[in-house]
A and B are shown apart, each in its own frame.
Chain A
């Protein structure tokens, strides 16, 4: 289906380009070019570049081509007359060159090492959360012997880390303890383009591992993505409901229903800032397990809420707690946000340079099109230095022809000194 769409748009683009080339009328050419640009913009959308598509339409098809049309109409240059000189050879040469260019490119495409496979994607993100009520001490968590998070207390979660994709054996040790003494607790599989939170939970001494698949893609504006994990060992399943005032006749809204022990709910989008939520037993909704009081949601983030437990004492059971872990969401590929982030962080200097270039172009255009109102400055008349041939210089300096040997001057007879005397 998609390939056919592409084929149609590509055909249109080629036709428009050909129309631009072959049209006798420059205005028609410009219109064909606009068509071509629109087709290219469509292809941009297909290539997950909505921002560029928008710029293509607005700047290229809009501004630049309007400028072209304006100049064509201004100059009345729809048709250019016959050439002053016919370059008969240029057409065949051009065709030959074009063909050889196409051929060379094809060859390069085939023979060269151009990797046309899709990229592997972003490496997996992973973080850990400690909700194991039976193991209430602070822990270090290792993945295949490499430290994943250190000194994580009960009820805390670490930051996201990017790791290589693959299977990892997770082991847990007391904080600061020898990694060799870590207790293996299970294994997880991390794939590209995923984000996972590994939750250690359970009432036994040996914790269980639960995996929450996180969605870190961008959220709709002014909203938060919320995921709920049930790590409360006392009940089979919990439900997250809206907390209503007492004796309210209104049925409370259910956000995540019937989450089994050791499982995560599906993510839901919430636009609320300060929600009044509560966990209730799934089988007995009137039994409130835990209230999220004075709870705040930050828009644009992904929020993980873990309903955990805390040991009250030896043999005295648990009481529920909530563990919150937030993370920044990642911008969508090709979105204005992603382009802008790159543009204003990594490419800010080229951006500035291009801005200056635009300014210079603007000034240049004004200077070039301005009619001759600027008079040239009165300068001194150019004085031309004419060099004389060497022989004439010598002749003028010595007053002699250099080829003739001058007469040697005769020595004067030395005067006889008078003897000093009276």
Chain B
């Protein structure tokens, strides 16, 4: 089975080949073939990921480092002692990532084959998607920060390309799309700066960029407290007994294999250079070493604080956290599969992945606070995460664009994950990442299905209008829809008379699109954290961790996180149900909604599959002590799986109180939304949100609707001054000074002057004179000499004889003299 892991390079290669084919020959291929290539490439990657998973299961979850052929010396700078190999890591953490990335990716590829049907750049879309998968998998599988950074930048590029995929849409939409793409790219650049700085600091500190060296274990205690946790649980002693036995057996077995094949930083016989960055970080922190930066000497914990804060900046860029989250809502300008794949399920989790991977850094990034080591970065991360969760949820409540609501929801949920990372609940973060990937992909695809249906209806409508009338009679709610459709509140403005994404145009779609409705509902309940859907388990775990950190460890960040995240969970339930009400319930508010139809099977099949997983994926990490589920699905499967890759792993016990509280808050949010927006009350007659017209909520709602003026704030504070400086530089410095004065006056005149000087006296006089003089000389000389060339043989013969005599005379000269 060892050879199974050697397949790891293929997981990158398959999508790369798919992208390659579609890039170069896609234009000549029919749509079906293009889509098929993309889907096959993606699904083969999934198969590889699954094989790697089985490999890990069969090999005691021991991590493995694969050296793909031909790339051993990927980067080698001998003078700097820098050797970075193109190594791929197979461990439980990134196999988890691989599994859901490739699985969700495959489903989204299938979905896109229906969604993008008829697009002139169909093949290119699939090439981009495959390219994205390639880079995402490089990011995940890389065994060093540089490979991760390659993937990091690559997915950023793909994100940019895909957000601006419809850059050429008419009516200024293309302009918006490309602006959104640029916004995403630039926001990510800021984050990338942070990542780069973190990478540089890491290299300076540890002299390598490898996460772990081959054979090095991330966590040597993995699998040992498996049984303890179970034993702690009050219920299910029988299960615990079995678990303990298993755990010990596993531990023994594992201890055996550790002794033979693997080592850990805590083993003192291991030298520093045998350790990767994380092992070294642990050892350095354990020994409390200092790091020299030229004349500056910093303790390792301080350096780690710096590294992790830079890392947090990178994660904030990629995972859309405050303050860099503003690009994500705009990124919904891309096609919906892109939103689902990149901006909800996979790419945005890269920041969380990086931080989970760097848990050793985060754990040891402390400052001395009154004698206690205070985990500064973790605290900051928690703050960033919870504020993002709150802000995202708050803004989502005031949006009308169906995808924008989901986008802010994504921001909010990413905040949950980041907060979990900050709380040290790495498993919870990963768990929520996985569940979120499924249900958020489901919601996005569902919204895409809705948009697709709306567009279909709109097309039908235009078609019908184009051919005549009698349409209103056919539609029972025709007058209403016309009446509701107020041009003044139409979100697209006069240039876009119809916006298929605007929830104000929808309503009553549950009857038109039943499959979409059911699956969307499942996704909503999962996201809202309703028992027993996936989101309930993952969100609950984060909240439970927050509770433990707060009330048991007595840390401030735990209290903060618990309070804020509960509130954000309420927001989540509220805005999701608001969306359900607006989109699916009530009556159609636009003719297009009336004529919307269910999407094709290429789109609904992934929805169904994702809905299935949105229900059941939560059971992969069922906490102990849940009567039925923990017996049915096993306890802490994911946690026990991940602990082999995470040094500072811990599992938190199920907190019934918290779970019930969160469930109550979620249900409360739903009922509140139901009561406000339920039925036909989704919009007022004037096309306004019910909260907007109520005086007590109007102010708050308008802040949410205006997205808390983040963009305007950035525009005022950063963009506008930046633009002014740029304008100043362009107009005054560049144009007036450089062009007008420097170029035109100084350079041009100076050049002219020198040119004149050189051209007249020098060029004409000396150079030309010399050249012409040579010519004249040759001409004169040849004119004289040509007379010798008489053409008469006899004269030549005379010359010849003359020469002969001359040569003889010259030869005789010595004799004549003597």
With contact pairs A85-B792, A87-B792 given, residues A420 and B330 touching in the complex (Cβ less than 8 Å)? yes
Partner of B795, one of A90, A100, A411, A414: A90
Q: Which residue of A lies closest to B329 (CB)?
A: A420
Q: Which of B796-818 contact A (CB under 8 A)?
A: 798, 801-802, 804-805, 808-809, 811-812, 815-816
Per-position binary interface string of chain A over residues 102-127, scored 1 when its CB falls under 8 Å from any chain B CB and 0 otherwise: 00110110011000000000000000
- Give every chain B residue within 8 A of A390 (Cβ-Cβ): none
With contact pairs A87-B792, A107-B812, A108-B812 given, residues A97 and B179 touching in the complex (Cβ less than 8 Å)? no
B787 at the A/B interface (Cβ < 8 Å)? no
Per-position binary interface string of chain B over residues 400-444, scored 1 when its CB falls under 8 Å from any chain A CB and 0 otherwise: 110000000000000000000000000000000000000000000
Partner of B712, one of A97, A417, A419: A419
Is B801's CB under 8 angstroms from A420's CB? no
Q: Which residue of B lies closest to A410 (CB)?
A: B735
- Give every chain B residue within 8 A of A100 (Cβ-Cβ): 805
Per-position binary interface string of chain B over residues 713-743, scored 1 when its CB falls under 8 Å from any chain A CB and 0 otherwise: 0010000000100010011000100010000
Is B792's CB under 8 angstroms from A420's CB? no
With contact pairs A418-B179, A422-B491 given, residues A94 and B798 touching in the complex (Cβ less than 8 Å)? yes
Q: Which residue of B lies closest to A415 (CB)?
A: B175
Partner of B808, one of A90, A104, A420: A104
A408 at the A/B interface (Cβ < 8 Å)? yes
Per-position binary interface string of chain A over residues 385-420, scored 1 when its CB falls under 8 Å from any chain B CB and 0 otherwise: 000000000000000000000001001001001111
Is B808's CB under 8 angstroms from A108's CB? yes
In the assembled complex, the CB of A376 is this many whole angstroms from the nearest CB of chain B, namely 26
Q: Which of A80-107 contact B (CB under 8 A)?
A: 85, 87, 90, 93-94, 97, 100-101, 104-105, 107
Is B794's CB under 8 angstroms from A90's CB? yes
Is B180's CB under 8 angstroms from A420's CB? yes
Q: Which residue of A lies closest to B744 (CB)?
A: A408
Is A420's CB under 8 angstroms from B183's CB? yes
In the assembled complex, the Cα of A87 lies from the Cα of B731 at a distance in Å of: 86
Is B798's CB under 8 angstroms from A93's CB? yes
Is A107's CB under 8 angstroms from B816's CB? yes
B168 at the A/B interface (Cβ < 8 Å)? no
- Give every chain A residue within 8 A of B119 (Cβ-Cβ): none
In the assembled complex, the CB of A43 is this many whole angstroms from the nearest CB of chain B, namely 24
In the assembled complex, the Cα of A408 lies from the Cα of B741 at a distance in Å of: 13
In the assembled complex, the CB of B751 is this many whole angstroms from the nearest CB of chain A, namely 11
Q: Which of B547-581 contact A (CB under 8 A)?
A: none
In the assembled complex, the Cα of A101 lies from the Cα of B812 at a distance in Å of: 12
Q: Which residue of A lies closest to B401 (CB)?
A: A422
Is A90's CB under 8 angstroms from B739's CB? no
Count of chain A residues with a beta carbon within 8 Å of a chain B beta carbon: 23
Is A420's CB under 8 angstroms from B711's CB? yes
In the assembled complex, the CB of B488 is this many whole angstroms from the nearest CB of chain A, namely 13
In the assembled complex, the CB of A101 is this many whole angstroms from the nearest CB of chain B, namely 5
A421 at the A/B interface (Cβ < 8 Å)? yes
- Give every chain B residue within 8 A of A414 (Cβ-Cβ): 727, 730
B176 at the A/B interface (Cβ < 8 Å)? yes
Partner of A112, one of B711, B795, B815: B815
In the assembled complex, the Cα of A87 lies from the Cα of B705 at a distance in Å of: 116
Q: Which residue of A lies closest to B811 (CB)?
A: A108
Per-position binary interface string of chain B over residues 773-793, scored 1 when its CB falls under 8 Å from any chain A CB and 0 otherwise: 000000000000000000010
In the assembled complex, the Cα of A411 lies from the Cα of B734 at a distance in Å of: 11
- Give every chain B residue within 8 A of A94 (Cβ-Cβ): 798, 801
In the assembled complex, the CB of A411 is this many whole angstroms from the nearest CB of chain B, namely 6
- Give every chain B residue within 8 A of A111 (Cβ-Cβ): 812, 815-816
In the assembled complex, the Cα of A101 lies from the Cα of B798 at a distance in Å of: 12
- Give every chain A residue within 8 A of B805 (Cβ-Cβ): 97, 100-101, 104
Is B715's CB under 8 angstroms from A101's CB? no
In the assembled complex, the Cα of A100 lies from the Cα of B803 at a distance in Å of: 12
Q: Which residue of B lies closest to A420 (CB)?
A: B330
- Give every chain A residue within 8 A of B727 (Cβ-Cβ): 414
Q: Which of B330-379 contact A (CB under 8 A)?
A: 330
- Give every chain A residue within 8 A of B735 (Cβ-Cβ): 411
In the assembled complex, the Cα of A235 lies from the Cα of B343 at a distance in Å of: 137
In the assembled complex, the Cα of A105 lies from the Cα of B812 at a distance in Å of: 9
In the assembled complex, the CB of A85 is this many whole angstroms from the nearest CB of chain B, namely 7
Partner of B400, one of A104, A417, A420, A422: A422
In the assembled complex, the CB of B326 is this many whole angstroms from the nearest CB of chain A, namely 9
- Give every chain A residue within 8 A of B798 (Cβ-Cβ): 90, 93-94, 97
In the assembled complex, the CB of A121 is this many whole angstroms from the nearest CB of chain B, namely 29
Is B804's CB under 8 angstroms from A101's CB? yes
- Give every chain B residue within 8 A of A419 (Cβ-Cβ): 711-712, 715
In the assembled complex, the CB of B166 is this many whole angstroms from the nearest CB of chain A, namely 15
In the assembled complex, the Cα of A107 lies from the Cα of B817 at a distance in Å of: 12
- Give every chain B residue within 8 A of A107 (Cβ-Cβ): 812, 815-816
In the assembled complex, the CB of A374 is this many whole angstroms from the nearest CB of chain B, namely 28
In the assembled complex, the Cα of A97 lies from the Cα of B798 at a distance in Å of: 8
In the assembled complex, the Cα of A94 lies from the Cα of B731 at a distance in Å of: 89
In the assembled complex, the CB of A249 is this many whole angstroms from the nearest CB of chain B, namely 78
- Give every chain A residue within 8 A of B808 (Cβ-Cβ): 101, 104-105, 108
In the assembled complex, the CB of A113 is this many whole angstroms from the nearest CB of chain B, namely 9
In the assembled complex, the Cα of A417 lies from the Cα of B735 at a distance in Å of: 21
- Give every chain A residue within 8 A of B175 (Cβ-Cβ): 418
In the assembled complex, the Cα of A411 lies from the Cα of B730 at a distance in Å of: 10
Q: Which residue of B lies closest to A111 (CB)?
A: B815
In the assembled complex, the CB of A142 is this many whole angstroms from the nearest CB of chain B, namely 47
With contact pairs A87-B795, A101-B808, A108-B815 given, residues A417 and B401 touching in the complex (Cβ less than 8 Å)? no
Is B794's CB under 8 angstroms from A97's CB? no
Is A97's CB under 8 angstroms from B816's CB? no
In the assembled complex, the CB of B177 is this many whole angstroms from the nearest CB of chain A, namely 10
In the assembled complex, the Cα of A318 lies from the Cα of B457 at a distance in Å of: 148
- Give every chain A residue within 8 A of B731 (Cβ-Cβ): 411
- Give every chain A residue within 8 A of B802 (Cβ-Cβ): 97
- Give every chain A residue within 8 A of B723 (Cβ-Cβ): 417
Is A87's CB under 8 angstroms from B794's CB? yes
Q: Which of B597-651 contact A (CB under 8 A)?
A: none
In the assembled complex, the Cα of A94 lies from the Cα of B797 at a distance in Å of: 10
In the assembled complex, the Cα of A112 lies from the Cα of B400 at a distance in Å of: 122
In the assembled complex, the CB of A419 is this many whole angstroms from the nearest CB of chain B, namely 5
- Give every chain A residue within 8 A of B711 (Cβ-Cβ): 419-421
In the assembled complex, the Cα of A87 lies from the Cα of B401 at a distance in Å of: 112
Q: Which residue of A lies closest to B802 (CB)?
A: A97
- Give every chain A residue within 8 A of B707 (Cβ-Cβ): 421
Q: Which residue of B lies closest to A101 (CB)?
A: B805
Interface-centre pick from A104, A408, A414, A418 (highest chain B CB count, 10 A): A104
In the assembled complex, the Cα of A141 lies from the Cα of B333 at a distance in Å of: 119
Is A101's CB under 8 angstroms from B801's CB? yes
- Give every chain A residue within 8 A of B712 (Cβ-Cβ): 419, 421
- Give every chain A residue within 8 A of B815 (Cβ-Cβ): 107-108, 111-112
In the assembled complex, the Cα of A87 lies from the Cα of B798 at a distance in Å of: 11
- Give every chain B residue within 8 A of A108 (Cβ-Cβ): 808, 811-812, 815
In the assembled complex, the Cα of A417 lies from the Cα of B179 at a distance in Å of: 8
Q: Which residue of A lies closest to B399 (CB)?
A: A422
Is A420's CB under 8 angstroms from B176's CB? yes
Q: Which residue of A lies closest to B726 (CB)?
A: A414
In the assembled complex, the Cα of A108 lies from the Cα of B816 at a distance in Å of: 9
In the assembled complex, the Cα of A179 lies from the Cα of B176 at a distance in Å of: 118
What are 27 pairs between A and B in contact, CB < 8 Å? Answer: A87-B792, A87-B794, A87-B795, A90-B794, A90-B795, A93-B798, A94-B798, A97-B805, A100-B805, A101-B804, A101-B805, A101-B808, A104-B805, A104-B808, A105-B808, A108-B812, A112-B812, A408-B744, A411-B730, A417-B179, A418-B175, A418-B176, A419-B712, A420-B180, A421-B712, A422-B401, A422-B705
Residues of B within 8 A of A (CB): 175-176, 179-180, 183, 330, 400-401, 491, 705-707, 711-712, 715, 723, 727, 730-731, 735, 739, 744, 792, 794-795, 798, 801-802, 804-805, 808-809, 811-812, 815-816
6 further contact pairs, Cβ within 8 A, besides A97-B805, A104-B805: A93-B798, A94-B801, A97-B802, A101-B808, A105-B808, A112-B815
Residues of A within 8 A of B (CB): 85, 87, 90, 93-94, 97, 100-101, 104-105, 107-108, 111-112, 408, 411, 414, 417-422
